[in-house]
Amino acid sequence: MSPVLPLPAPWIDGLPRDVRGFVVPAEAGWEDGAPVLAKVGQDRKVALGMRRACGVCGFVLPKGRAVYRAFAQVDAAHIRMHEREQSHDDSGPLHLSCVLYSAMVCPYLRERTARMSRTGINPGGRRGTRAAVIGFAGFGLLVPMHAYKSSQPAMPKFAYVQMVEDIPYVDGADLTDRYEAAVRSDRNIIDMSVPRMFWTGEEPPDLKRALRADVKAISRRAENSEFVYTQMIENEGEFGALPL
């Protein structure tokens, strides 16, 4: 039985589709000229985050508004208990309508039997019966403390600060009403008059250019110790949070 899928909001509708017809998020990885929706494009997520652009639609996340991610049950529980003030995820921030759309459409997020989990806590673990969309007041880039000195740096992550919203769900379809409300409110804050950040294919030159500028900016801020805090991540070492 295939679930009834939500109508994409205008800022989602214009995104490319993969061969199965799924919307391709801006932060998806690309291999052999095709998007791989199960992978996060490490270059893309940094370039998007540095420009405060949403990892799904590629349009800007306005300052002063909460940003969102979806989490597996075990990760959501961990955040509620231990990381309400400072959390982290491998992937970048999203608009509420964009994360709810993903949670309703993406096979990894919508079904309770699926396996998905953030890196480090429970990789490959089950999504769990009650996944959650969690909102945070702010975000930053979480960079390995010695990235700018190392030839093989760990990948940056995203810091999420101050949990402000918690939307548990069992099945993607539970989110229908919330999604429709989020589309109505996000319509007022998503500026579609400027082009979305989206790069097609592998290593597009404009993405490489953007990334070179970003790496320079990150290194400069890291050397000036502009971190708002640092934290140890199990098996990965010390990271510093640069506000965005």
Distance CA(76)–CA(130), nearest Å, equals 9
Which of residues 23, 26, 46, 57 is near Zn ion by CB under 5 A?
57
Q: Count of CB atoms within 10 A of residue 98's CB?
A: 31
Q: What is the largest CA-CA distance in the chain?
A: 55
Tell me the residue ranges of DSSP E strands in 64-115: 67-71, 86-89
Q: Count interface residues toward Zn ion (CB under 5 A).
A: 5
Q: Is 157 in the site for Zn ion (CB under 5 A)?
A: no
- Which is nearer to Zn ion, 170 or 189 (by Cβ)? 189
User: Which residue lies nearer to Zn ion by CB, 179 or 239?
Assistant: 179
Q: Which amino acid is at 29?
A: G
Q: Residue 95, interface with Zn ion (CB under 5 A)?
A: yes
56 lies in the site for Zn ion, by CB under 5 A: yes
List the Cα angle 197/117/86 in 5-degree steps.
75
Q: Which is nearer to Zn ion, 98 or 222 (CB)?
A: 98
Which 35-54 positions form the footprint of Zn ion (CB under 5 A)?
A: 54
Nearest to 174 by CA among 128, 112, 115: 112
Nearest-CB residue to Zn ion?
54
Q: In the stretch 97-116, what mask flags binding to Zn ion with x, by CB under 5 A?
A: -x------------------
**Contact between 67 and Zn ion per CB under 5 A:** no
Taking the least distance from each CB to Zn ion, the nearer of 15 and 147 is: 15
Check residue 182 for interaction with Zn ion (CB under 5 A): no
Q: Whose CA is closest to 131, among 159, 167, 183, 182?
A: 167
Nearby residues of 40 by Cβ (< 8 Å), 6 or more positions away: 27, 28, 29, 90, 91
Task: Say whether residue 207 binds Zn ion (CB under 5 A).
Answer: no
Applying CB under 5 A, which residues contact Zn ion? 54, 56-57, 95, 98
